[in-house]
């Protein structure tokens, strides 16, 4: 008896799979895609981060402590005084510079080392250097890491041209660094050569220290700090890694979350598949109960089906994810678009723990998705289920309205919570709760809104409305599938659209001039000398020239450096996009600086606060006169009036110039004139403000490309969900279609009926999705974005794009519904009518 029952259970379970392999396959695909995406995104990020960690380790070697200064470096006199401290075993000074490649947009990091000293803290790097270095003392000699050589397509003996200031410096590639020592793209020079050739005489950027055995690193660090020049810090290599990892952490978390959304949508697919499959088999299941299957056993059987789906899908997903990650790393590198790991060429790091976690996630999500209807199925009275027309009854028990409302309320409360550890964890939790709550509200909302649908005269439409009104809970599942994916898409669209629009407006405000000129883009080796500045300003065709100096300074040792921008400030004309209320400096307050939102957030500063900046010979006090919006410098920036800056520091160099074109002059003419006047200034890059804008927006789009890709997958999974539930219902309604055919409905009319149903379901789903999406986008913009990146965004709803997407979704749903009905109708109506259950 038991064996027979077991066989029956198997038959019922396997039959469900066999009956609708397509639907099970779709649910499986949903899980596979969700898990694969999660795994891929995680692995790519983890590999890049791991690579980055390795890079930091290979750069700092076995050092116990690294003294690090701003980009412009600190005075080299710190080196002997630190090296002579009794606790210091060895001290290795270094010059670091991101030098722009001549004639290219990219830059390469050049590290100037004293090989004798470096060997004491980085033995491994030098151990493998046999026969690779010829003449490192030659001031033009440079060694490339293998990845840099490959990237640049250069070999030993070739010339590496970089831009220093506005001149081009040719360096001779004397050899390659050992393959194991550095995987990132770097060039190594002798420290003396680097100081000379990169115009860094007298300055160094870093000192790596190995301490004598038995020295307490933390104690020593504290005694060391007062001896260090202003603007430098002493950090352990781990702190260094931690700080750098922190920079990209929010972005990585964002991607992980998006991947999880895909997984969540996949789980919802399992849920809807199981709900519908159980509905379809309700009489079979009731029969099993009648035959003696206990309630827990029945529930277990149904959960096991979901678990099987989840495990299979997760396994395939993990494999697919690894392959996807390997492919991405091979073809696009470890950087997922945001530029945090630009110079890292990573190998795939398979992290078994992470893979296991995603496998468990996928399986658990699928089990939960299956458990909800399974528990319900177990509870149902078998006798009732044996009666026909019980489909909807079966769902009546999913009383979820109050739970849904509660979850949404809890989610809204969570949005008030601050960032945890610098991460918007509660923001994400809020979105998850609100999403889940909305799904739970769906049956109620569906019932309410279907009641309001007017009765249509057109018979197929009338039938469609009657069908939907009669089965609100089944409809709610379809709607839920749409809402899940569409709301997230809407939210992301609004967030990204708002961000893009805000950036666009910001760029317009920040780029008032016609032409921008900068020395060696994005690096710290390039600058314009005062003579060059005069020369530029005096160029015919230039009506007005404004110069800006930027450099990095350290505000707090445990925080990344902040960019100091010395430029003319005119708060009245709005050339600084202030977000704070106007502020009048008190009479005897220190001079004004304007800090970016990130600086305010990260360093806890407010308007009116006083702030000590390590510029000039001695740290000087300033007053925060305003907070401005800066979309460029995520670690914070501080604007100071250039006149005051020059007065305090004597630093008359500039990195950028904004030029206003005289009437009647063209950009091309001026560009040529500038190049002529500045002579062999290969390092000067001249662009129109339009070019800068286009370029910035292109960079923005590249950053969000991965986000778009993830969204599309989530939407695809959502459409799978719609398709699954439609095709499930179409199957369940085969007999009904048969009857309608008997009564005299044409195939076309039935198709139209299904199309109407699809349109209605999609319209409702899109409507709810839009509302939910707007809510979620508010959380993304106001909570998550702000906590992650510390800049504000003005809300702009891209209505046109949303309308287009909504229509696409509705059309897709109509298509899916019609298609699934057509598939069912190809089987003959006659047999369908005779099927008696």
Partner 1 sequence: MSFEDGGFTRLRIASRSRRRLLALLGGLLATPHVHGQTNRRAAPGTPYAQVLPGTPLRFPRDEGSHPDFRTEWWYATGWLESARGPLGFQITFFRTRPELKLDNPSAFAPRQILIGHAALSDPAQRMLQHDQRVAREGFSLAGASPDRLEVWVDDWSLKQEGGVLRARIPARDFQFDLTLAATQSPMLQGDKGVSRKGPQPASASHYYSLPHLRTQGTLTRAGRTEILSGTAWLDHEWSSSYLDKDAAGWDWIGINLEDGGALMAFQMRTPQGGKFWAGGAHRAANGEQRVFEPGEVDFTPLRSWRSPRTGTEYPVAWRIRAAGLTIEVTPLMDDQENDTRASTGAIYWEGAVRALRDGAPIGRGYLELTGYWRRLRL
Partner 2 sequence: MLSIRNLDKSYRGPGSRLMMRGISFELAAGEYVAIMGESGVGKSTLLNMIAGLDLPDQGSITFEGTELTTLDDNARTVLRRDRMGFVFQAFHLLPHLTVAQNVMLPLRLGGAAADKSARMALAMLEAVGIAALASTYPRELSGGEMQRVAIARALVHRPRLVLADEPTGNLDADSARQVLTVLREQIVHGTGAGILVTHSVAAARTTDRTYRLTAEGLQRCEEH
Site residues (CB under 8 A) for partner 2?
387-389, 457, 459, 462-463, 466-467, 469-471, 735-736, 738-749, 828-830, 833-834, 836
Q: Is the CB of 63 or the CB of 248 nearer to partner 1?
A: 63
Q: Which residue has the tokens 């006798």?
A: 383
Considering the complex, state which of residue 133 and residue 316 has its C-beta at the smaller distance from partner 1: 133
Q: Are 670 and 684 in contact (CB under 8 A)?
A: no
Q: What are phi and psi of 201, to 5 degrees?
A: -55, 135
Query: Could you say which of partner 1, partner 2, none residue 137 binds, taking C-beta under 5 to 8 angstroms by partner kind?
Result: partner 1
User: What CA dihedral angle connects 267, 268, 273 and 277, to 10 degrees?
Assistant: 100
Tell me, residue by residue from 209 to 228, as one string, x for binding to partner 1 by CB under 8 A and - for no binding. -x------------------
Least Å distance, CB 711 to partner 2, is 36
Does position 202 interact with partner 1 (CB under 8 A)? The reply is yes
> Which phi and psi (to 5°) does residue 789 adopt?
-110, -10
Shortest CB 497 distance to partner 1, Å: 52
208 binds partner 1 (CB under 8 A): no
CA distance 606 to 624: 7
Q: From the CB of 578, what's the least distance to partner 1, in Å?
A: 44
- Please count the residues of the chain: 837
**CB 133 to partner 1: min, Å:** 5
Of residues 728 and 770, the one with the C-beta less far from partner 2: 728
Nearer to partner 2, 746 or 807 (CB): 746
Q: Smallest gap, in angstroms, from Cβ of residue 210 to partner 1?
A: 7
Look up residue 419 and give its DSSP letter.
P
115 contact choice in partner 1, partner 2, none (CB below 5 to 8 Å, kind-dependent): partner 1
Count CA atoms within 13 Å of residue 277 on its CB side.
31
331 binds, among partner 1, partner 2, none (CB under 5 to 8 A by kind): none
In whole angstroms, what is the distance from residue 280 CA to residue 415 CA?
Answer: 41
Quote the longest CA-to-CA distance of the chain: 101
Question: CB-wise, 55 or 829, nearer to partner 2?
Answer: 829
CB 127 to partner 1: min, Å? 5
Contacted entry of partner 2, partner 1, none for residue 741, CB cut-off 5 to 8 Å set by kind: partner 2
SS (H, E, C) 505-568: HHHHHHCCCCEEEEECCCCCCCCECHHHHHHHHCCCCEEEEEEEEEEEECCCCCCCCEEEEEEC
Instruction: Output Rg (C-alpha) for the chain, integer angstroms.
Output: 33
3-state secondary structure of 486: helix
CA 650 vs CA 141, 345, 574: distances in Å: 33, 41, 27
**Which residues, 6+ apart, have CB-to-CB distance to 434 below 8 Å?**
407, 408, 411, 412, 772, 775, 776, 779
**Binding partner of 834, given partner 2, partner 1, none, CB within 5-8 angstroms per partner class:** partner 2
Q: Which of 96, 190, 656, 757 binds partner 1 (CB under 8 A)?
A: 190
Alpha helix segments (H runs only) across 281-380:
282-291, 295-332, 352-379
| Dihedrals phi, psi of 591, to nearest 5 degrees | -60, 160
Considering the complex, state which of residue 116 and residue 327 has its C-beta at the smaller distance from partner 1: 116
Candidate list 32, 37, 55, 119; residue touching partner 1; CB under 8 A: 119
Partner from partner 2, partner 1, none binding residue 451, C-beta < 5-8 Å depending on class: none
Would you give the binding string for partner 1 spanning residues 42-81, x where CB under 8 A is met? ----------------------------------x--xx-
Q: Which is nearer to partner 1, 122 or 272 (CB)?
A: 122
Distance CA 590, CA 620 (A): 9
User: Whose Cβ is closer to partner 2: residue 452's or residue 834's?
Assistant: 834
Q: How far is the CB of 388 from partner 2 (least distance, A)?
A: 8
Q: Are 104 and 161 in contact (CB under 8 A)?
A: no
The answer to whether residue 192 forms part of the interface with partner 1 (CB under 8 A) is yes
Least distance CB 315 / partner 2 (angstroms): 36
CB of 105 to partner 1, least distance (A): 29
Pick 61 or 443: Cβ nearer partner 2: 443
Q: Is 201 in the site for partner 1 (CB under 8 A)?
A: yes
In the complex, the smallest distance separating the C-beta of residue 653 from partner 1, rounded to whole angstroms, is: 19
> Which stretches of 647-787 are assigned E, i.e. beta strand?
656-661, 684-688
How many whole angstroms from its chain centre is CA 216?
39
**Nearest-approach distance from CB 211 to partner 1, in angstroms:** 12
Q: Which of 312, 372, 322, 301 is nearest to 43 (CA)?
A: 322
What, of partner 1, partner 2, none, does residue 89 touch, CB below 5 to 8 Å by kind? partner 1
Q: Which does 82 bind (CB under 5 to 8 A by kind): partner 2, partner 1, none?
A: none
553 phi, psi to nearest 5 deg: -135, 155
To 10 degrees, what angle do helices 21-60 and 689-732 make?
A: 150
- Touching partner 1, residues 131-170 (CB under 8 A): 131, 133-139
**Min. distance of Cβ 113 from partner 1 in angstroms?**
10
- Cα distances (angstroms) measured from residue 412 to each of 174, 176, 257, 286, 441: 61, 57, 18, 41, 15
Report the C-alpha gap between 713 and 28 in whole angstroms: 14
Cα–Cα nearest to 335, from 702, 54, 791: 702
Please give the distance of CA 135 from its chain centroid, rounded to a whole number: 44
Looking up tokens 């709607």 gives: 479
Q: How far is the CB of 374 from partner 2 (least distance, A)?
A: 25
By beta-carbon proximity to partner 1, the closer residue of 129 and 659 is 129
CA distance 791 to 598: 6
| Binding of partner 1 by 748 (CB under 8 A) | no
Q: Binding partner of residue 52 among partner 2, partner 1, none, CB under 5 to 8 Å per kind?
A: none
Site residues for partner 1, window 768-787 (CB under 8 A)? none
Q: Which of 50, 90, 273, 343 binds partner 1 (CB under 8 A)?
A: 90
Residues facing residue 360 across a β-bridge:
none
As measured in angstroms, the least distance from the Cβ of 814 to partner 2 is 21
CB closer to partner 1, 80 vs 574: 80
Residue 751: CB atoms within 10 A of its CB come to 18
Q: Pick from partner 1, partner 2, none: which does 470 bind, CB < 5 to 8 A by kind? A: partner 2
| 31 touches, from partner 2, partner 1, none (C-beta below 5 to 8 Å by class) | none
Q: 600-629 burial by CB neighbour count: b if 16+ within 10 A, else e?
A: bbbbebebeeebebbbeeeebebbbbbbbb
CB of 817 to partner 2, least distance (A): 17
* List of residues contacting partner 1 (CB under 8 A): 76, 79-80, 83-84, 89-90, 93, 114-120, 123, 126-127, 129-131, 133-139, 190-193, 195-196, 201-202, 210
């Amino acid at each position: 008896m038991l064996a027979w029952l077991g066989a029956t259970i198997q038959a019922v379970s396997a039959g469900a799979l066999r009956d609708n392999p397509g639907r099970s396959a779709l649910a499986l695909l949903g899980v596979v895609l969700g898990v694969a995406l999660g795994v891929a995104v995680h692995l790519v990020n983890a590999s890049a981060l791991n690579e980055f960690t390795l890079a930091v380790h290979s750069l700092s070697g076995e050092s116990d402590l690294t003294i690090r200064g701003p980009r412009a470096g600190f005075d080299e006199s710190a080196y002997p005084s630190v090296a002579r401290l009794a606790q210091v075993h060895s001290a290795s000074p270094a010059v670091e510079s991101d030098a722009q490649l001549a004639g290219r947009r990219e830059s390469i990091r050049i590290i100037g080392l004293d090989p004798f000293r470096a060997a004491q803290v980085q033995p491994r790097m030098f151990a493998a250097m046999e026969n690779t270095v010829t003449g490192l003392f030659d001031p033009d000699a440079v060694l490339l890491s293998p990845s840099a050589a490959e990237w640049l397509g250069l070999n030993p003996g070739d010339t590496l041209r970089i831009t220093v200031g506005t001149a081009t410096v040719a360096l001779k590639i004397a050899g390659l660094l050992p393959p194991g020592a550095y995987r990132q793209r770097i060039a190594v020079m002798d420290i003396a050569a680097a100081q000379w050739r990169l115009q860094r005489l007298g300055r160094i950027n870093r000192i790596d220290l190995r301490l004598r055995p038995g020295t307490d690193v933390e104690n020593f660090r504290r005694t060391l700090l007062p001896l260090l020049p202003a603007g430098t810090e002493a950090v352990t290599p781990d702190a260094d890694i931690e700080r750098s990892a922190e920079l990209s952490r929010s972005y990585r978390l964002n991607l992980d979350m998006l991947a999880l959304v895909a997984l969540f949508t996949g789980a919802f697919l399992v849920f809807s598949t199981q709900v519908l499959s159980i509905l379809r088999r309700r009489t079979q299941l009731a029969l099993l109960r009648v035959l003696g299957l206990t309630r827990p056993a029945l529930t277990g059987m149904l959960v096991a089906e979901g678990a099987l789906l989840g495990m299979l899908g997760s396994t395939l997903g993990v494999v697919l994810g690894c392959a996807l990650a390997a492919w991405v790393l091979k073809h696009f590198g470890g950087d997922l678009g945001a530029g945090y790991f630009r110079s890292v060429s990573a190998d795939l790091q398979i992290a078994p723990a992470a893979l296991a976690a995603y496998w468990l996630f996928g399986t658990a999500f699928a089990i939960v998705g299956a458990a909800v209807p399974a528990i319900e199925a177990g509870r149902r009275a078998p006798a009732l289920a044996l009666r026909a027309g019980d489909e909807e009854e079966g769902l009546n028990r999913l009383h979820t309205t109050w739970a849904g409302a509660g979850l949404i309320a809890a989610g809204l409360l969570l949005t008030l919570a601050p960032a945890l550890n610098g991460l918007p964890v509660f923001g994400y939790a809020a979105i998850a709760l609100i999403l889940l709550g909305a799904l739970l509200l769906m049956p109620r909302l569906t019932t309410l809104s279907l009641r309001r649908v007017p009765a249509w005269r057109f018979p197929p439409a009338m039938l469609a409305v009657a069908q939907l009104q009669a089965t609100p809970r089944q409809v709610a599942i379809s709607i839920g599938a749409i809402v899940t994916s569409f709301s997230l898409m809407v939210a992301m669209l609004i967030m990204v659209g708002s961000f893009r629009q805000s950036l666009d407006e910001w760029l317009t405000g920040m780029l008032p001039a016609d032409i921008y000129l900068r020395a060696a883009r994005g690096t710290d080796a390039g600058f314009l000398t005062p003579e060059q500045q005069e020369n530029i300003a005096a160029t015919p065709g230039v009506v007005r020239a404004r110069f800006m100096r930027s450099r990095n300074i350290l505000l707090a040792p445990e925080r990344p450096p902040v960019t100091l921008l010395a430029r003319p400030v005119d708060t009245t004309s709005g050339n600084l996009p202030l977000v704070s209320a106007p502020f009048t400096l008190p009479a005897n307050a220190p001079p004004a600086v304007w800090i970016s939102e990130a600086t305010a957030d990260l360093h806890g500063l407010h308007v009116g606060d006083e702030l000590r900046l390590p510029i000039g010979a001695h740290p000087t006090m300033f007053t925060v006169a305003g907070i401005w919006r800066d979309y460029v410098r995520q670690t914070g920036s501080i604007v100071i009036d250039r006149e005051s800056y020059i007065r305090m520091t004597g630093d008359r160099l500039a990195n950028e110039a904004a030029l206003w074109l005289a009437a009647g002059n063209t950009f091309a003419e001026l560009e040529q004139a500038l190049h002529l006047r500045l002579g062999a200034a290969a390092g000067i890059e001249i662009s129109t403000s339009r070019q800068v804008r286009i370029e910035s927006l292109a960079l923005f789009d590249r950053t969000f490309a991965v986000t778009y890709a993830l969204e599309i997958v989530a939407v695809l999974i959502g459409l799978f969900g719609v398709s699954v539930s439609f095709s499930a219902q179409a199957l369940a309604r085969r007999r009904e279609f048969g009857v309608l055919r008997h009564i005299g409905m044409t195939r076309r009319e039935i198709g139209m009926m299904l199309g109407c149903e699809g349109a209605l379901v999609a319209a409702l789903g899109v409507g709810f999705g839009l509302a939910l999406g707007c809510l979620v986008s508010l959380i993304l913009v106001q909570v998550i974005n702000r906590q992650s990146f510390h800049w504000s965004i003005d809300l702009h709803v891209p209505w046109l794009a949303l309308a287009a997407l909504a229509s696409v979704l509705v059309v897709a749903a109509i298509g899916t519904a019609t298609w699934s009905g057509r598939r069912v109708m190809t089987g003959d109506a006659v047999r369908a009518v005779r099927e008696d259950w």
